Structure 1
Amino acid sequence: MDFNKLTDEEKRVIENKGTERPFSGEYNDFYEEGTFICKKCNTPLYTSKSKFSSGCGWPSFDDNLEDAVKRVPDADGRRIEIVCSNCGGHLGHVFQGEGFTSKNTRHCVNSVSLSFKK
């Protein structure tokens, strides 16, 4: 499988499970209509309809496209990591029960893990 060439920062986050600084990502305050795709493999992950402002400093989504995102226990044992179902690239973490939207779910995603298509 061919993957997109990643910058050092993208590799740090996507392949080595890093985190970008809060409020630094290009998609944190971004609300155009379209689809967010995996930066590494171009798999569609989220639509703009599921994006919302949580104030946490990272792009937040309350739902992913069907079978696009996989949930795995984080190495810290307390959180649930979310990865691209296709390539396994690190996206961020998912949180339940915060009450931001009716779905009561927040996918907290690193902007550098995403690309956007109108």
Structure 2
Amino acid sequence: MVKHWQQVALAVVSLMVIGLVAGTTHFERRVEKQKVLFYQLQLLRTSVQLFKVIHHRNPHSLEELVKIEYRFTEHEMPRKFLEFPPYNFEGKFVDPFGTLYSYDAKTGQIKSLSKGFQYW
């Protein structure tokens, strides 16, 4: 009888530990994705601003940041406004949570559509 209760107690403690580890891991991944989202938004917004300074207009789409190159001087190598875009497998711009970015070509505003991050 004592062994049975020990096994039950061990199973309960094991499940609690597994749940705690899984919860902590999930939380840490979410925090990391939030950090990546912050830096991606910063990078995308800076790229749009640079494009606007050089071409005196907003890009028509985020894809234009990857396609068009620029140089500050004739002797420089051409660069893209955005070198490493956050694409998904379909070639669309997505945030770290897998949600498409929203881009308004009229205002140049970029935002994430992931729940809880729309106003970043």
Q: Taking structure 2 as the reference length, what is the TM-score of the superposition?
A: 0.28
More strand, by proportion: 1
Q: Which has the higher contact order (CA 8 A, sep 6+)?
A: 1
More helix, by proportion: 2
Q: Taking structure 1 as the reference length, what is the TM-score of the superposition?
A: 0.29
Higher alpha-carbon Rg: 2
